């Protein structure tokens, strides 16, 4: 049996004459979707798979489809004869364009058998001389394939060998997704062995030394793995000592290492290549002169075996010396290796004669965290989920490690400046280029490396988002509607980390006279495997999200100080906004409201308890009329006014008609019921109207503390959230309204009845109703691990008159309304809820603005879905 090793991601070219069994081989070993057949593409463009005049167009389309598959990271197999060099060159080019390895599988079958198979196919009409020419082309091709760029060439000779062949997939050397850490990722060492030892000890590692006292390995009691980002050598006092320690750790399996450009230059020198001895290489070569030749040979072998970059932790972490663009992650080519070693330059040089680095991190939109070094920076900064941890130890700075996944930065200072930098490590304002050139030069002043920029392309057009809790497709028209709202009316995106999801009602009630009833809400959650819920009073007001800071935010403060934190909100002290992201009142009224909330948070002791300088609160602002006054006057009040003006006259006319013995009794009863329903309708909306003057009369009902610095609180149960809300009420009872609630065990019928009686009493005295939520919290899941509805509305009988009209409870209308479909509304609510949870996670993780904003934008775009607004 022949085993053919093929990379998991590759472009595989089948090579063989007509009749050699390429298509049969492809069907046996590859999925139909993986195979691109030249015959199929000829048929696509010419309706005849044997029309050789269409081959040019067919291969053009085939190469295009192959490129799309390879860009998406999918194995692609090309089923064609591939006997001409120009045909194979096109495939090698496609593979290189997408940084994957081209592989050739040659099927060498005796010509008589191929001719026998060809004659058996009525669609093959060429003569045997064509087959002979193909066979000669095959003989010439086999020896050329590796020279043409195919990284692996497998030749199967004869039918038996082809029949016995098996495909075995192999991972690329850079694919270490199975390694999940935890990791200690260490920046450019540059021969600073003493500082490396000090950093490892500070990180909790134990050093192991040889008989002469030299460190040759290190282990961590918690089983952590070190990752070195390269540039171990040059400029510093002990490059051999650093190599000895790192090589020992890698050999023992306690560390990984990617190569730096300095290692690559050293390797070329050790192999006798002609290189310019500069940038610290002379110091390394002098130090190696004192080492044994065997050790120097080990160094060359070690550097030669280093992989350009690593993809780790299921694809969530990428480590490369100079960083790596998202499209290069997990790929293998000279272009990928060059970027990982040297980064990208603009082709210009700065005033120091050094290349101007292109700021690739500013454009990074990948989901993986990228950790790199190469360009020394005074302090590490997060830029679009990337971080440079070369803090210039050899230049008198520090040696820095990033602990993953905690994102903790640990540094030790350099003992001295071992090597004077060409460019000052801490640029002075006079030395900084201006504008875009400043960002491109590699300078890292506080305001330059900025992840706050947004790109219109991140949110426009039809987009597919995988946000961790699910996937969603945002249609282009919905994105356009969201853009209209976001660009014209919404608050600054930096202050808009989350939007509340829409909420679905409970299943339609079968209880006589009710469209919604607690019994259905309890049953909905019981069927999902929930055993405990909390019933919260539903406040009739306007949804308000409050992002409040303890102090004025300083955008120039470093992350983690609390004055900017991972959220990096920009200047200001907070914001109050609606469920569509608009400022709530605007101007001085919002500022006054924030001041009251800030004082209450302090009075409740939450700043210290949650160790934060900002809080994100989900609230309801009361009364309804404070924000919806115009809506009440223009939509609801006219209905009541028209009815009150018309119905008395109608009833009077009907009474006079009845006095003349006309048969109007039935009509008169209907009009009387209509008048009663209209009075109830008017009472329903009037109960949510009360006068306000500025903040006088305005109250706030918080029901969830969504996030604080570095933490999403979605995992806390609702008891925790409501307890904090109660403390805010105690701190300022004039501003904060408490939320009444009942906790119900769904296996306790008495508890369900008590909650139902409470709901009847609540709604009977003018309350809107209640929201039933899984007690476990916002992130609750069902027995199959799927997200649950975060809450189900159960609205009162009288309140629903506002929604469905004064006479909705008439038996004939109620029968129609009971046919309402809830599926689309519930699907929308779950999508928006999942997007919101992901937005809170990214806020807590310190994700860049564009990563947070794309989710918030998607929530707003979902609001354009055609769903019955009454649900």
The tens digit of pLDDT for each residue in 2-55 reads 899 999 999 999 999 888 889 999 999 999 999 999 999 999 988 887 777 888
Side-chain-facing half-sphere of 699: CA atoms under 13 Å: 21
Q: What is the mean pLDDT of residues 127-139?
A: 81
Question: Is pLDDT of 550 > 50?
Answer: yes
- pLDDT band per the 50, 70, 90 thresholds, residue 361: confident
SS3 498: coil
Q: Who contacts 649 (Cβ-Cβ below 8 Å, separation ≥6)?
A: none
pLDDT above 70 for 725: yes
Q: What pLDDT does 516 receive? A: 93
For residues 516 and 433, the model is more confident at 516
Angle between helices 55-71 and 38-46 (to 10 degrees): 120
DSSP 856-869: HHHHHHHTTS---T
Q: Give the whole-angstrom CA distance, residue 325 versus residue 339.
A: 8
Q: How many CB atoms lie within 10 A of CB 857?
A: 30
Tokens at 777, concatenated = 């919290």
Beta-carbon count within 10 A of 347 CB: 8
- pLDDT of res. 582: 93
Rounded to whole angstroms, what are the CA distances from 710 to 148, 451, 713? 52, 17, 10
Q: Which of 36-45, 302-311, 633-642 has the lowest mean pLDDT?
A: 633-642
86-95, 526-535, 802-811: which range is least confident on average? 802-811
**Minimum mean pLDDT range among 423-432, 600-609, 680-689:** 423-432
Per-residue pLDDT for 156 more than 50?
yes
Supply the pLDDT for residue 452. Answer: 52
Strands 35-37 and 76-79: parallel
User: What local confidence, expressed as pLDDT, does residue 438 receive?
Assistant: 29
- DSSP per position, 234-294: SSSS-HHHHHHHHHHHHHHTSEEE---HHHHHHHHHHTT------TTHHHHHHHHTTS-HH
With b for 16 or more beta-carbon neighbours within 10 A and e for fewer, the 659-670 pattern comes to eeeeebeeebee
* Mean pLDDT score of the chain: 88
| Secondary-structure percent of the chain, ordered helix, strand, coil, rounded to 5 | 40, 20, 40
DSSP state of 635: I
Binning pLDDT at 50, 70 and 90, where does residue 363 land? Answer: confident
Round to the nearest angstrom and report the end-to-end CA distance of the chain. Answer: 64
Q: Which of 379, 395, 399, 502 is nearest to 449 (CA)?
A: 379
Q: Which of 226, 234, 225, 224 is nearest to 189 (CA)?
A: 234
Q: Are 807 and 798 in contact (CB under 8 A)?
A: no
- What is the structure's pLDDT at 434? 31
Q: Going by C-beta distance under 8 Å and a sequence separation of 6 or more, which residues neighbour residue 441?
A: 350, 356, 357, 432, 433
Spatial contact of 833 and 790, defined as CB atoms under 8 Å apart: yes
pLDDT tens figures, 230-277: 999 999 999 999 999 999 999 999 999 999 999 999 999 999 888 888
**510 vs 713 pLDDT, higher one:** 713
Distance between CA atoms of 446 and 270, rounded to whole angstroms? Answer: 41
CA-based torsion, 584, 589, 592, 593: positive or negative: negative
Q: Where are the alpha helices (DSSP H) in 561-703?
A: 587-603, 606-609, 625-631, 637-659, 665-686
Q: What is the pLDDT of residue 432?
A: 32
Name 559's bridge partners: none
92-105 pLDDT per residue, tens: 999 999 999 999 99
Quickly tell me which residue has 């807590």 as its tokens.
844
pLDDT at 664: 85
Name the least confident of 137-141, 422-426, 462-466: 422-426
Burial class (CB in 10 A: 0-12, 13-18, 19+), 605: exposed
Q: Point out the least confidently predicted range of 69-83, 496-510, 685-699.
A: 685-699
Higher pLDDT, 686 or 300: 300
pLDDT at position 133: 85
Q: What is the mean pLDDT of residues 838-853?
A: 88
Q: Is the pLDDT of residue 567 over 80?
A: no
Determine contact, residues 341/321, Cβ cutoff 8 Å.
yes
In whole angstroms, what is the distance from residue 6 CA to residue 866 CA?
48
Q: Where are the beta strands (DSSP E) in 414-482?
A: 463-466, 471-474
List CB contacts of 708: < 8 A, sequence separation 6 or more. 610, 611, 612, 614, 615, 616
User: Please, are residues 452 and 570 in contact by the beta-carbon 8 Å criterion?
Assistant: yes
Give dist(CA 263, CA 235) in Å, integer.
12
**Residue 714 clears pLDDT 90, i.e. is over it:** yes
Q: How many residues are present in the chain?
A: 871
Q: How far is CA 857 from the centre of its chain?
A: 13
pLDDT greater than 90 at residue 569? no
The pLDDT score that the predictor gives to residue 127 is 64
Beta strands 463-466 and 471-474: pairing type?
antiparallel
What pLDDT, on the 0 to 100 scale, is given for residue 129?
Answer: 73
Q: Select the more confidently predicted residue: 35 or 554.
A: 35
- Identify the CA nearest to 288 among candidates 331, 228, 336, 242: 242
Report the distance separating Cα 835 and Cα 472, nearest Å.
9
Report the pLDDT value the prediction gives residue 735, as an integer from 0 to 100.
Answer: 94
CA 744 vs. chain centroid, Å, equals: 36
Q: CA-based diameter of the chain, in Å?
A: 126
- Is residue 325 predicted with pLDDT exceeding 80? yes
For the chain, the C-alpha Rg in angstroms (whole number) is: 35
Task: Tell me the average pLDDT across 738-761.
Answer: 95
pLDDT of residue 1: 67
**pLDDT score, position 564:** 41
Which residues pair with residue 36 across a beta bridge? 78
Burial of 429 (0-12, 13-18, 19+ CB in 10 A): exposed
**Residue 558: in which H helix or E strand, if any?**
none
Q: Give the pLDDT score at 226.
A: 97
Q: Are 54 and 45 in contact (CB under 8 A)?
A: yes
Cα–Cα distance, 573 to 547 (Å, whole number)? 9
Share of the chain above pLDDT 70, in %: 93
Arithmetic mean of pLDDT, 133-140:
87
Q: Which pLDDT score is estimated for 359?
A: 83
Place of tokens 């914001």: 575
Mean pLDDT of 807-816: 88
Cα torsion 46, 51, 53, 56 to 10°: value is: 70
Region 161-175: mean pLDDT is 93
Per-residue confidence at 353, pLDDT binned at 50, 70, 90?
low
pLDDT of residue 563: 40
Task: Return the number of other C-beta atoms located less than 10 Å from residue 365's C-beta.
Answer: 15
């Amino acid at each position: 049996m022949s085993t053919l090793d093929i990379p998991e991601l590759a472009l595989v070219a089948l090579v063989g004459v007509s009749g050699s069994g390429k298509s049969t081989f492809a069907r046996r070993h590859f999925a139909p979707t993986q195979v691109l057949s030249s015959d199929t593409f000829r048929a696509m463009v010419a309706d005849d798979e044997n029309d050789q005049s269409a081959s040019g167009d067919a291969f053009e389309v085939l190469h295009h489809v192959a490129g799309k598959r390879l860009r998406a990271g999918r194995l692609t197999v090309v089923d064609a004869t591939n006997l001409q060099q120009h045909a194979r060159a096109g495939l090698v080019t496609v593979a290189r364009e997408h940084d994957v390895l081209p592989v050739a599988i040659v099927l060498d079958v005796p010509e008589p058998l191929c001719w026998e198979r060809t004659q058996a196919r009525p669609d093959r009409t060429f003569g045997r001389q064509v087959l002979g020419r193909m066979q000669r082309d095959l003989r010439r091709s086999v020896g050329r394939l590796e020279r043409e760029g195919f990284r692996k060439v497998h030749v199967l000779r004869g039918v038996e060998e082809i029949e016995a062949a098996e495909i075995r997939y192999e991972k690329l050397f850079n694919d270490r997704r199975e390694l999940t850490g935890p990791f200690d990722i260490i920046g450019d060492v540059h021969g600073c062995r003493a500082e490396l030892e000090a950093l490892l000890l500070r990180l909790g590692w134990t050093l192991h030394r040889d008989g002469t006292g030299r460190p040759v390995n290190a282990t961590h009691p918690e089983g952590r793995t070190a990752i070195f980002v390269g540039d171990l050598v040059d400029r510093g006092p002990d490059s051999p000592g650093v190599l000895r320690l790192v090589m020992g750790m890698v050999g023992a399996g306690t560390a990984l290492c990617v190569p730096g450009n300095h290692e690559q230059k050293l390797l070329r020198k050790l192999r006798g290549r002609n290189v310019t001895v500069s940038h610290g290489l002379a110091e390394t070569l002098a130090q190696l002169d004192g080492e044994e030749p065997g050790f120097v040979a080990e160094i060359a072998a070690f550097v030669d075996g280093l992989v350009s970059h690593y993809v780790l932790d299921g694809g969530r972490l990428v480590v490369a010396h100079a960083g790596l663009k998202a499209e290069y992650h997990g790929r293998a080519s000279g272009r990928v290796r060059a970027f990982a070693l040297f980064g990208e330059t603009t082709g210009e040089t700065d005033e120091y004669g050094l290349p101007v680095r292109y700021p690739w991190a500013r454009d990074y939109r990948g989901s993986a965290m990228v950790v790199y070094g190469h360009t020394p920076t005074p302090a590490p900064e997060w830029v679009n989920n990337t971080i440079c941890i070369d803090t210039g130890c050899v230049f008198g700075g520090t040696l820095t490690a990033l602990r993953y996944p905690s994102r903790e930065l640990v540094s030790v200072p350099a003992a001295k400046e071992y090597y004077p930098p060409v460019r000052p490590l801490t640029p002075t304002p006079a030395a900084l280029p201006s504008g875009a050139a400043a960002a491109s030069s590699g300078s890292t002043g506080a305001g330059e490396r900025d992840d706050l920029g947004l790109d219109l392309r991140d949110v426009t057009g039809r987009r597919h988002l995988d946000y961790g809790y699910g996937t969603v497709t945002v249609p282009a028209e919905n994105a356009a509607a969201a853009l209209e709202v976001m660009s014209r009316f919404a608050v600054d995106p930096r202050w808009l980390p989350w939007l509340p999801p829409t909420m679905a009602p409970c299943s339609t009630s079968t209880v006589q006279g009710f469209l919604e009833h607690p019994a259905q809400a309890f049953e909905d959650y019981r069927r999902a495997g929930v055993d405990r819920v909390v019933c919260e009073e539903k406040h009739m007001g306007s949804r308000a999200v409050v992002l409040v800071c303890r102090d004025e935010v300083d955008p120039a403060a470093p992350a983690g100080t609390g004055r900017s934190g991972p959220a990096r909100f920009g200047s200001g002290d907070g914001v109050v906004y609606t469920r569509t992201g608009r400022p709530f009142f605007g101007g001085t009224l919002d500022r006054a409201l924030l001041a009251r909330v800030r004082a209450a948070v302090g009075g409740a002791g939450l700043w210290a308890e949650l160790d934060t300088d900002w809080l994100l609160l989900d609230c309801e602002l009361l009364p309804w009329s404070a924000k919806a006054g115009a809506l009440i006057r223009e939509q609801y009040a006219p209905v009541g006014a028209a009815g009150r003006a018309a119905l008395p006259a109608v009833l009077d006319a009907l009474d006079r008609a009845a006095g003349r013995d006309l048969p109007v009794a039935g009509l008169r009863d209907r009009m009387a019921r209509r008048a009663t329903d209209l009075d109830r309708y008017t009472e329903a909306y009037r109960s949510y109207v009360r006068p306000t003057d500025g903040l006088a009369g305005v109250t706030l009902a918080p029901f969830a503390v969504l996030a604080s610095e570095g933490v999403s609180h979605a995992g806390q149960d609702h008891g925790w959230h409501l307890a904090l809300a109660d403390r805010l009420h105690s701190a300022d009872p004039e501003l904060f309204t408490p939320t009444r609630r009942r906790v119900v065990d769904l296996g306790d019928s008495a508890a369900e009845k008590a909650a139902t009686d409470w709901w009847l009493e609540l709604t009977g005295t003018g309350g809107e109703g209640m929201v039933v939520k899984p007690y476990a919290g916002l992130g609750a899941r069902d027995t199959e691990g799927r997200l649950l509805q975060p809450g189900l509305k159960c609205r009162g009988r009288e309140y629903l008159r506002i929604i469905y009209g004064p006479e909705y409870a008439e038996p004939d209308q109620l029968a129609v309304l009971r046919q309402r479909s809830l599926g689309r509304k519930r699907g929308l609510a779950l999508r928006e809820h999942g997007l919101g949870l992901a937005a809170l996670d990214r806020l807590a993780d310190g994700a860049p603005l564009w990563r947070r904003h794309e989710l918030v934008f998607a929530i707003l775009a979902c609001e354009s879905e055609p769903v019955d607004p009454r649900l």
